[in-house]
Structures are given as C-alpha cells and as structure tokens.
Structure 1
C-alpha cells in the first residue's frame, strides 16, 4: 500500500501547518482513500548531534581495531550520572565505535541510551572491549537512511548543504526521522493514487486546497521536455501476438545522461523520502528512478548505456528463452511475456534486457562503475504486465502501477525529471538526443445525461455541479445538447472512467457519499419461506432438541473413502476433483456428508471431547453423468447452446443431513452409570428428522459401508431409500480414531422433502378421553428385523394406536436357539369415546393374529 509523508505531499498541494497523519486520513477517506495504518516515527528517544573530541584506536586479540571516542553530545547529555563516566578534560561521553571514516572534530549522529532505532533496536550503555560504551555513533543503515554500513554518518558530508547545529541538537528533526507516515488502501481502479501526484490531487478534491500538478510539462523546474530527435536511441516495437487485443507497448521514451560520477551519493532528502515510502536506497541512478516513480506514478528503468546495442526492441518471448532478473533468479519465459531486448544485430546478439513493466535483467543493470545511463520511460499494456507479474510471482513496484494503468502522457515528463536529478546530483550531462515512440491515443469520450447522477443515486445534483465536479477531476466536458447530454473526455490518468456509471460515481464521491441519504425502500409483501427452507429449519431445530450440535465443515476431502471401507464399485467413490484445490491433501468434493463429518467428529474426540454428538446439513456433489464444458470467451455474450452446455456440466448437488454420535449419550451420574450411544440413537435421530419434515419412514435391514453389516438400517420414504443409519463398522471407527460403538446416520433431505410434498405438517388433534395401555411381547426368528415387526404392530393397532414403542429385546434359552422376544408398549385412544376393555383386547388379538401371518410371530407366554 502507498505511504504518504506529509512533507512530501505538501510539495504538490497546500497542506495546512500542523496537519497530522490522522487529520490527513480523515480528509482522504472522504474521497474514498481509506487509512490502512498510521506509522509512528522510525526513531524515538534521544538521537542527537555529537562532536568527536578524541579517538583512541586499540588493537584487540581478535584482530579487530576499535576506536574509543570521547564525544561532546551537549550540556544536557554529557556525563549522565550512572551511564559510564570516563575521565576527560571536557564534559563528554565515552563511546566505542568500530568505524574509521571519521576524525576528531567531525560532527556525527549519536544514539544515546533510551533511543529506539528501526527494527525495534534499543540502545543502552554496555561494557565492551574494556570500556563502557555510553551510546552508539550511527551509520546510515542503522538509522534506515540507506545501505551504507561501512562507515558512520559524518554530517558535513551527509548534509553538505545544511549547516550543522551545535552538539546536543535533535538529530531526529535534522534527518527527518520524526515524521508520522500515513499508509492508505488504494482500490484497483485508482492506480493513479500509487503516486504522490495522485494523492495530492485527491487531497485537493477533499479539502479544496490549491494543487499544482507535477505531471504537467509546464510545471517542470527546467521547462518542458525536449521533443524527439532523429539521433535518439532507437526503439522498435515488434508485437505480433498482442494480449487481449492490445499491443504490449504504445509509448517508449529514452533519454541519455553521460558523465555521471559513480561515487555520487543520493541526496539525503531523497533517501529520507525513499525510506519513508518503504523503499531501500541503493545508488543515485536507481534512487532517482524510484523517487520519480513514487512522486509521479511513472515507473522508470535505468540501464548502463555501455552495455546496450541500439535499437531497443520490445517483443514477446520466444519458446525456451530465459532471463536472469535483478533478483538473481533465472526464469523461463512464457510466449505472452513482453520483453525489452537490444538489437539482434548488435555486438551482444540481441540480449533480453528485462521483463517489460515488471523487472529488469541483471546483465545491464546500473553498476558502481556506471558513468553513462539510458533512462527508459514507457507505457505498457496493463493486462500483459499483470499476467507476467503473476506468472513469475514478481509483484514489483513497477508492476503494481502498470497493471492498474499509468498515465500515457507522463513518460516524457518523468524522464525529464530523472535527467534533471541525475545532472544536478550526479554531475552528468544531458545528451540532446531524445527518442519518443508514441502510438498512444486520447481516452474515449463518454456521453452522459446530466440527470444520470440523480437517477442512480437519488440525490438531485444540479447540472452545474455535475459539470464542475467532472472538470475538477481533469475531464473535459462539452456543452449540453437539447436532451441534456454532455460529452465527457476523461483525463489521461483515469483509464477506469469508461462509462456513464463511472462518471456518476465520481460525482457522488466528490460531492460526498455522506450527502446520499439512507432511505429504506418499502419491503414488498413476501411469500414467506419455501417448503425446503421450512424443512431445513425444522430439521436443524429437531436435531438440536435431540441433543446434537450443528457444525459446518469444508466440502473438500481426501482419502476418506478408503477409510470408510467403501467398495471399489461404490457410486460414492466417483468424486469431482478440483483443478486448483485449497489443500493438496483434499483435492475432491465430498459425495457424502460423512466424508467430512467423520473427520469433524475425530477432531473433537482428539481434543478430549469423547462424548461427541454433531450433525451437518449441507450439499454433496455427485458428478456421475456430467462432462466438462468449454469456457466461452469474454468478448461476447455466450450463446444459448454454450449456456446449456455449462448448465449440463454442473454436477448434481443434493442436500443431505447427517450426524455422528460417539461415547455416551447419557453421562455417568449419581443415579448410576450412563449409557453409551448405540444404533437405536441413530434410528431415533432419523425419526426426529422425518417427524420435522412431516413424513413417515420405514426401516429395513441393510448392508452399506461405513456401517456395521449387522447393525445398519436402510431408511425409505415415498417408496425409495433416502438414507441409512446404524453403528459404524469397527474398522471405520479405528480408521477415524473414534471411540468404539460410534453410530451415524445420513439422509437425502431433498428426497425426504419431496416425499413430504408441499403440504405443511398437520397437527394431530388431542383427544380428551383417557388412553388404554397394553404391552405385547412377540417371539420371532432372530433374522426378522425389529422394524418389520413394529410396522405390523402399528398396522394392527390401526387408528386407535396413538403410540407404539419397542421397549425391550430379549434373547435366551427359554425362547430357543435363533429366537428373540420383542416387547411393545401400546397406548390406545379413541377420539370420541372411552375405550372399553373389550375394544383394547380386540386390538391386542388383531395384532397377534396379523403378526403371526406376516412375520411368523407367536405371543410370548
């Protein structure tokens, strides 16, 4: 994100004295530039000017020569009590220093104990090399002002144009290290705000402060840049394969500066601003290009002229080409990468100089011995730069600006600024040869109705205000025609303004978003929840009442099918694999809720929650029968056939409900031991779901992974199987590290809802007559499912059976081998009368007879 120092901003716009970073943030947010952070000063504490009084050089055993210096740091700081007094003829402090580039009488920068330097480095008095070092004499790198760490700062050399104050003076203010910096958040359509020029313009819009555009030729200190000459360093654009229909480069300016002093340092004000903007000072030529980029928004590149062969050629990469970029990484290039190369017929055979708009190459970079520099200022296609930067994972400062759109009228001005700075601070001479390959065009005009802002925002902006605000942002607005329509030509630095809605947004933004009233529209009469929505809420509520906790898990899964012991031909193994999964170990979409829910249960158990009861309501993906569809282009609306093909390629995604119960459903207590979850709890949860939907279900014995073959029930509704419930297979339990006896259920909620239809659940009238109670124990073969016997009992009870409940299952020698006894509790009630003993006995007899016929049951004696 861009950093905004107030002193730098004030060069382009009138910032009132005393404005703080917080004030600046409050002003900028009104025009849509949000505060990211207010960065405190880089250095805090007593950083002062010191004068070297004496130097004693000592050789130590490790071969290192150190200097013990007596430094005058001002009356307020000399000989601070308890911080290492040393005998001296005049008040001073003793400081150990390993640098040797200073002499007695030099003025230096001293960090006294209590100072905090960049990197949260705290200074304190300490014993070292046999002396107490009562502070630190600082280098440029230690203060964040550059990379020089070989020698300390000598103020007469570091600030040659600034009178050095007396010892003890505040060095934080002298070096500009005490300023707050505002970091702002810039949206992708406001790329011009990645420069001080753009932020200053927006501050002017927000406050009305006077703004001087540094990007206009007439505002250059040395006058407008010179026109192109015949002998300029030649440039050619050979782009036979444009990206997205746009030629990769439509403007390329080159300027030459000769005779630069390679040892010339960057001025301190420039390094200070680069550091404040979050960039590292490197050398004069590089610092100048970075400074101009940060100030104007135009990325520049400096080449060592001695390493180039004319002409420079801008072209696409050929297959197999490679480039070592400035970060010393060897990169294999893509055919869409736009390159800067030199002449194929030159002495060096047409080398690749860099990735256009992203990063230069290492072979032609400016070196410590460079005296002649070629400055490049170009305009590249944003799409091409963005794709190259992402392809090579190179989010450079230049790429950030090019991919958001750079002003195509800025190149000559930016190059001239760089030339002027190199001449002024490097002692160079500007070559009169200028090259400017310019194929840019003015922005497309946009027709705008003057009442369009009112129509879109609801605010009645007068026509004069609309025209005035659009003119303020730099647009040219024609006279309105008879229909109240004007033609607006956006400024060159606003490539995002391509339609009437964009212009309306500018009007609303500059007039103030707070001027747009918050009007709540009247809510139309709704039809309420759909049956599916009602069922989902009712089901979730029913399971919560049953004691289960709802969870949400990611639908991406890995090897869960093997752990669930699914057969090789199971339809659930056919899963949709993602081309770009979030995690390499979870590349597929789940085909069952248990795919992810079992892992959720495992995670809870592994963290100490042995008694886990969780459920999930969500979609599963069944890709059977669908194929891939080709992606239609973005240059037109897809045809009906393409849309139909896209719909056909979307896999079936039914909504399921599933739950897992582990450990005990009834905890141990003072009334006795608890009860572990078993298959009956899973079946009861199924009945709770069915009851919430308002549909009756039937259970039958089944074999289906991941359930135990002998304790799995198929759940049917509306004549089809809609799910399964029961105890998990021991091998599955072990694979997921769950407690023994874990149970689970999963139902197709869409199918269950379809079986219920659109009718709401009808309440059962409550009879005021007393119930009759009967208990029946039936002996059947062990292979007969209890659910089948239960269904027969309910059928025999007919309309009088208010409740039929299985309350006991018994096996033993009394019944004989292969037999079991099922005991049912019946509650019988009539809606219009009290049942007689004869009526309840008749129901009992009917049940016994029907059970004998259907399942071979006999009444247990």
Structure 2
C-alpha cells in the first residue's frame, strides 16, 4: 500500500515539520511494515511552467517527424515572448496547454535543460511528458496536455503536485484495513496521539424502495449490497489533475472519470466498488453462485470458464461481474466517441454504483482459481469493513455529481443480512500476563478504544470489536493491540526459565545420533516437503495393492500435483538427487530423516476441531488421535556417481548396492540393533540387487526396511543417473528392537587368534547367509568376522564364487590354544556347509 504524505495530512493534522521518515518510524513502532519512503520530485528544479502552444511547424526533411513549436509561457521566461521549442511528440495540437521546462531546469535523472541548436533550429526549452517528470504511468506515455482553464505561466510543479513523499507499506494479511488511507490514517493518528478526521463519516440517505432492483440468492457469499444510480453524466468529463495524481502516487493508472472515482474511493475508504453502464444492464442485478462450466468474459478481455464455487453478479442475460474480483466486459463504462460528421460525443451517461461486502474465503478462492488477483480481491480476501459500503457509495455519488455534472437519483438500494457486532470477554490484566508488563486497566482500555473498540466492565472487560477489524477475534488479539501500541521496544528482555530434569527423549536422541552418523559417513542431509502425488508412486513402480498407495489427502493442498502426504521418503530424495545431478553435481550421497503417513483401515477421515478456550478432555484428545494416521519415523539415503574419488592415492570406486546396505547397518548400529539381512524383491529396487532388513522383536523377525540398487525403470522414470541406489529404514521399529541401553564392548587382555577360511558356494547364495552360519557355528569364542575377498574366475566351476573370511577368536580369561581356535573354525565351516552347501576351497 502506497501512502502519499500529502493525502495523509487531510485526515490527520501532522506537524508541519513532520517528514515521511518520521511517520515511517512511528508506524513501524506501531507494528506496520513500512518498507521505504519514496521522495517524489527528488532532483527536480524549475522553472517548470504551464505553456500554450501557439504554432506548430512540421519539419519534414529529417528521418523522423520533428515539430518546431512556439509556446506562450507568459512572463516566466522574463521577456513575455513566445518560447521556441523543438519537439518530436505528436499528441498535442495548436492551442493546447502543455508543461514546459525552461532553460535552467533540471529534470529527474539529472537531465539539465538548456538552449541548444538542433535540426537546424534553436530549441529554448522542452515540452514535457509524464515519464520525463517522474509522474508514473498515465496510460498515454506522451506529452502532458492540460485542461484549458489553467493560466499560462503557472508553476507546474505545484499544479502537478510533483513534490511529495510516499510511504510504501507491506500490509500483512491480518491488517487488511491498512489497505486504505482511512486505515493508515487511523494508525497514524493513534501513533501521534492526534484526532482522526474519518472520511467514512458522511451523511447517507436511508434505503428506500426506489433504488435499482437487486436480488441476492446467496446471503452467505454476499451479506451486504448497496446500489446507487447517477444519471446525466457528461461523457466528455475527464478526471481532474489532482485525482489523476493521487492515483498515480498510489501506483494506479488513470483510465476514465467513473473508473478513476471508484478506484479513488477504494483507496480512500478501503471498500472496492464497481460502476456499471446502466444502459447495458438487462433487468435486476443479482448475486448467485456460478453454474459449473458457465462462461464469462472479464474486463481484461479473457473468456473464463466458471466454477460452482465462484460468486457472480448477474442480470437477466447471465454473469456481468466476477464478484469481488473483476467486472464484465458486457457492462463496462464506454469510452467517449465523437461522431466525425456531427461532432456529437457519445458515451456512458448513466451509471449504477455497486458497493457490496463479499465472503473473504470465497473471493480468495475465486481469485486463485482464475489466477486473477486484483486490487478488489486483495482487499476482500483480507477483510473489508461491511459498514463502509453505504458511505463508499455516497462518496462515489458525490464525486460523480461534482466532477461529471451528474444527478444522483433518490433511490437507494441496501440489502443487508442481519448481523451483530462481535464481542470478546477478557480479563483486564490479560495483556499484562501476555507481555509480562504491568500496563494497568486504564492503559488497556484506552488503547483498545483507540483502535475503535467499545469497552465496558472493570476486572472483566467486554470488548465490542469495530466492523473494520475482523482480525480481532480472541483475547490474545486484543492483547497484541495493546502491546504493539505501547511499543514492542518497551517490552523487557527476559530469558525463559525451563524446569530442571528434562531433556531429549530416547526417540529424539536416536534420531540425532542417526543424523550425525550418516553425515559422518559422507551423506548430505536434504530436507524435502512431505507431499506426494500419484505420479511419483507410479514412477516407483508400486503395485495397485501396495500399502504405500494408500495416502492421506489434504483438503487444501499447496499444489494440485501433490495433494497427499508421503508414505515413503524416497520420492523427495530422488527428486533432490535428480535436481543436483542436472546442475552438475554427479557424485551424490543424500539422506533424510522424517515422518511418513500411513492411514489404517477403518480409520475416520476428518478430524474434529477443538476449541482453544480450555484444555481438551482426554476423550476429545482420544477422538483426535483416532483420526490421525500412523506416522512412523524413517531414515533414507540415495546414492549416485562415485562413492570414493580417484586421485593420487589410487583408483576411485562407484557407489553400489553394498553402500546402500552399509548405510542401513550404520543406522541400526546407532540404534543399538543388529540387522538380519536377506535377499528380497521389493519395489522400487532391482529384483536381483535388493536386500531386506529384519530385526528381532519379542522373538519374532520384523521387517524394518530395504536397500539396494534401484530398478532401471525407476531410474528412467525419475531421470536419475544409471545404477542409482537407495535405502529406507524404520527408526521406530529399530527403537522397539533395542531391549535396553547399548552395551559396551567386552575388552580382553588376552591375545587374539586369527583363522582365515575360504568357502566356495553357488553364485546365488547370499553372502549374509554364509556369514550368519559361520558366526553361529563359531560359538562364543568368535570376536569378529570379516569378508575380505570375493573371487569368481577360471579356477572355479561356472556358477560358483569364493568367499574368504577372517575369523578372530579370543577368550576373556585365557590365551586360546591353536587346537581351540581350529576347532571353533571347523565348527563354523561345518554349519556353513550344512546350511549353504559351502565347501572349503582347495579341499
């Protein structure tokens, strides 16, 4: 919201010495975000005067059309003689009044005006356009042609109000009333402790039965509609300079008198209005919901297909306006047209003024649905004062009568749904408790009255909220008003005192340990939005009956392409992997820890809304929890490219399925659990390079995750690098498998006995099965087992592989003999042979 200081002074008697910077500081202290203060006219110096074009000589001997003009500037040039000026613009004629910069003037951008010879003539000044004077967009981008009543030689800087200060305020959604001069003036008056001249305090005639007929079919979508009619308008009437300049200063382009007046009143009072050409309306004006698929062309010339949720203004033919957003092309104010034969000017001479109040949510959804944000919708969706509609309509009528020579008809239409002012009951010391400051009842009451509230009561205050503050709904809102007006900077700085004896839960500690361990293993954390779409599940290659396809859908998603909550972490991580790879980072190892959302069968779909006036009961909390889906905490990693870089130290190594499995082992180790790893087939992994993770919980094996290389179809669907790998594991199940605190490793002072063994097994036998059999067969003396070589080649039969293990044995109370270590090794080999068909290599 752009606020010219000159306009603001009409409502608040600010001291003469007050600058825009001073007002900015005051409003920021009151809680408004004043981003900048623009100095209009900075760098502009005169003489800049009104001139009358006397003669125009067309110079045709040049490549572009040039005009040699003589301009009467009165005594401004010191001689009274016509000023000779060269000009290339063609939107003015002899007899027009224009703005002339005389030699010695400096225009914005340090453009200095001086006498100079050009095109074979001497130019003594410049005829100015609005752009050259820094006036903003006037819709023409040509020479300023002034109304004929202005005196020659008049100071144009005053006439055009070129010097001013404009405050640019970033209005937050809860302060929609500040999208008007009225609202900002109220805040300014409060900040300075000065009285406010409320522009909405007008004498408004009472509603009667003679007004333009209006029929409201949806009183929830439109709870107030005021209509006024003005006839006898002069179609040639133009917006006066002061009106155009005020619109330009707030960032709006002047269009026509009727439209400019509605925009002006909207900026002044915050009430959006619309003017219809009465001759183009067929029958009564109506307000209803659109029929699905109904078509309508808005003022911007775009044909739109309406939704059943859209609120429309209609006549007997159908929609004539998208309520609260934009009017229709079929009833817009007509531009004046001059008949070339008779010279008669025709145009709109009768208008119907609409000042209505629409449901904020409905307007916001319509504007977003049609991607049609307008000045009107921006205000309606933030909350408009419903009581201001009649005053805004009257203000518009008054200006049309004054500036266009119209006559206001006696009929006044006002349809309003019954409503009562909103009241809030609040203890008088509630703001004191919120802020930690002893304000006292007197300050609380005074501050609330300054924002427009009516306050009654002593210890318990009954506060009636003003109609222009729909954001004041609960006691904390009132407390915020008191605190901000008293000054946030005056709040004491105090540190909270947390109770002793509290810290992270075991679940939180596990979560943090896992994150640190993965980061230490070279993974980079990538946080993703918890939203997912059907396309991502298709890319993962999930079967139709896969549990991961049962999702929790959001009522109001951020994106229609991702309307549900994720059931797996992989789509977000794979998307991050693809983006980074496409931007030149090819060696990637990413991880994420977070919640997934898994609905259960028979679970109700909609949560109950709990009040905030008291603590919910245990039954209410149970009902809410019953609706919530299961939210297990997961950890996942994705890898692509090189896992170990090549360099002077040796060759690098690409990441593969084993790295993904090792990431699962790392996570499980931080949770104090040992994984049982086995081969599996599970989407989205490659059927021959997929491992399943199990743990023992109460004596039973429980699946906790998968890891391996992704299926080639998944890699192609997501646009990933070849041979990308992934792992996903359930942290909550790992925590359940941990029977207690992690036990410290047993330390023995006796020497270790190492036995190597090479076993030949079928190529399809999982290494993990062989290792598990060796560990179980070796017994309690086994301290560790490590696979240090895998061999496939000519020395083995086809379809076989050799696995070489290093087994370390140690006893806690003695030095092992060679026979004891050998016996343990033989027992391990025997059990491996029994379970996997392993044969000692060379035997």
For the superposition of Structure 1 and Structure 2, which TM-score range results when normalised by the shorter chain? 0.7 to 0.9
| Cα 1:830/1:129, change in 2 over 3 Å | farther
Match of 1:396 in 2: 374
1:803, 1:124 → 2: CA distance?
94
Whether the 8 Å contact between 2:634 and 2:729 is mirrored in structure 1 is: yes
Alignment of 1:22-101 (within 5 A): 22-41=21-40, 45=44, 48-49=48-49, 51=51, 55-58=55-58, 60=60, 66-69=66-69, 93-101=85-93
Alignment of 1:570-609 (within 5 A): 572=548, 590-609=566-585
Indicate the larger mover: 723-732 or 418-427. Answer: 723-732
| Cα 1:661/1:506, change in 2 over 3 Å | closer
Match of 1:661 in 2: 639
2:278, 2:263 → 1: CA distance?
19
| Cα 1:600/1:850, change in 2 over 3 Å | same
Q: Secondary structure at the match of 2:421?
A: coil
Match of 2:388 in 1: 410
1:8, 1:109 → 2: CA distance?
26
Whether the 8 Å contact between 1:708 and 1:726 is mirrored in structure 2 is: yes
Alignment of 1:168-179 (within 5 A): 171-172=156-157, 174-179=159-164
2:588 to 612, 625, 636: 612
| Cα 1:272/1:700, change in 2 over 3 Å | same
Whether the 8 Å contact between 2:226 and 2:415 is mirrored in structure 1 is: yes
Alignment of 1:422-821 (within 5 A): 422-432=400-410, 434=412, 443-478=421-456, 480=458, 484-555=459-530, 556=532, 559=535, 572=548, 590-622=566-598, 625=601, 629=605, 651-718=629-696, 719-729=701-711, 742-757=724-739, 759-821=740-802
2:207, 2:560 → 1: CA distance?
55
Work out whether 1:193 is the aligned partner of 2:171: no
2:219 to 242, 261, 265: 242
2:310, 2:9 → 1: CA distance?
39
| Structure 2: tracts of 5 or more residues without a match | 337-346
1:203 to 171, 188, 192: 188
Q: Secondary structure at the match of 2:88?
A: strand
2:98, 2:75 → 1: CA distance?
18
1:573, 1:796 → 2: CA distance?
43
Q: Secondary structure at the match of 2:806?
A: strand
Shift of 1:13: 0.3
Shift of 1:543: 2.3
Indicate the larger mover: 417-426 or 625-634. Answer: 625-634
* Deviations, residues 634-687 of structure 1 (Å, cap 9, x unaligned): 999999999988766655443333333334333323343233334443333332
Work out whether 1:844 is the aligned partner of 2:820: no
Whether the 8 Å contact between 2:232 and 2:405 is mirrored in structure 1 is: yes
Shift of 1:269: 1.0
Indicate the larger mover: 617-626 or 572-581. Answer: 572-581
Shift of 1:9: 0.2
Instruction: Calculate the TM-score normalised by the size of structure 1.
Output: 0.81
2:562, 2:361 → 1: CA distance?
32
Match of 1:138 in 2: 128
* Deviations, residues 202-261 of structure 1 (Å, cap 9, x unaligned): 1111111332222223xxxxxx3445566x42545444x432xxx73345252x444332
2:99, 2:807 → 1: CA distance?
103
1:696, 1:599 → 2: CA distance?
31
Shift of 1:749: 2.8
Shift of 1:105: 8.9
Number of positions where the alignment pairs a residue of Structure 1 with one of Structure 2: 820
Whether the 8 Å contact between 1:50 and 1:71 is mirrored in structure 2 is: no
Whether the 8 Å contact between 1:97 and 1:136 is mirrored in structure 2 is: no
| Cα 1:129/1:654, change in 2 over 3 Å | farther
Match of 1:268 in 2: 241
| Cα 1:717/1:114, change in 2 over 3 Å | farther
Whether the 8 Å contact between 1:733 and 1:742 is mirrored in structure 2 is: yes
1:672, 1:42 → 2: CA distance?
69
Indicate the larger mover: 351-360 or 772-781. Answer: 351-360
| Cα 1:316/1:602, change in 2 over 3 Å | closer
Q: Secondary structure at the match of 1:410?
A: helix
Whether the 8 Å contact between 1:3 and 1:183 is mirrored in structure 2 is: yes
Indicate the larger mover: 706-715 or 748-757. Answer: 706-715
Whether the 8 Å contact between 1:95 and 1:132 is mirrored in structure 2 is: no
* Deviations, residues 519-575 of structure 1 (Å, cap 9, x unaligned): 333202354322322222222222222222232344535655666566676655666
Q: Secondary structure at the match of 1:768?
A: coil
Whether the 8 Å contact between 2:100 and 2:126 is mirrored in structure 1 is: no
1:402, 1:742 → 2: CA distance?
50
| Cα 1:748/1:133, change in 2 over 3 Å | farther
Q: Secondary structure at the match of 1:58?
A: strand
Q: Secondary structure at the match of 1:805?
A: strand
Whether the 8 Å contact between 2:180 and 2:269 is mirrored in structure 1 is: yes
Whether the 8 Å contact between 2:295 and 2:305 is mirrored in structure 1 is: yes
Work out whether 1:149 is the aligned partner of 2:148: no
Match of 1:102 in 2: 94
Q: Secondary structure at the match of 2:10?
A: coil
Q: Secondary structure at the match of 1:263?
A: coil
Match of 2:399 in 1: 421
Alignment of 1:168-317 (within 5 A): 171-172=156-157, 174-217=159-202, 224-227=203-206, 232-239=210-217, 241-243=218-220, 248-250=222-224, 252=226, 254=228, 256-307=229-280
2:825, 2:430 → 1: CA distance?
81
| Cα 1:93/1:458, change in 2 over 3 Å | same
Match of 1:13 in 2: 12
* Deviations, residues 315-341 of structure 1 (Å, cap 9, x unaligned): 666777655443334455566655555
| Cα 1:627/1:447, change in 2 over 3 Å | closer
Instruction: Calculate the TM-score normalised by the size of structure 2.
Output: 0.83
Whether the 8 Å contact between 2:59 and 2:67 is mirrored in structure 1 is: no
* Deviations, residues 342-396 of structure 1 (Å, cap 9, x unaligned): 6xxxxxx577554454444444433332334444444455455555555555443
| Cα 1:70/1:380, change in 2 over 3 Å | same
2:388, 2:318 → 1: CA distance?
28
| Structure 1: tracts of 5 or more residues without a match | 79-88, 218-223, 343-348
| Cα 1:71/1:661, change in 2 over 3 Å | same
Shift of 1:184: 1.3
| Cα 1:543/1:385, change in 2 over 3 Å | closer
Q: Secondary structure at the match of 1:180?
A: strand
Match of 1:81 in 2: none
Match of 2:333 in 1: 366
1:309, 1:272 → 2: CA distance?
35
Q: Secondary structure at the match of 2:663?
A: helix
Match of 1:328 in 2: 301
Whether the 8 Å contact between 1:145 and 1:281 is mirrored in structure 2 is: no
Indicate the larger mover: 137-146 or 629-638. Answer: 629-638
Shift of 1:825: 1.4
Q: Secondary structure at the match of 1:491?
A: coil
Indicate the larger mover: 123-132 or 793-802. Answer: 123-132
* Deviations, residues 709-768 of structure 1 (Å, cap 9, x unaligned): 4444333211233333344456655666666555443333332222224x2211113323
1:567, 1:319 → 2: CA distance?
35
* Deviations, residues 97-117 of structure 1 (Å, cap 9, x unaligned): 323423499654689998459
Whether the 8 Å contact between 2:310 and 2:362 is mirrored in structure 1 is: yes
Whether the 8 Å contact between 1:442 and 1:492 is mirrored in structure 2 is: no
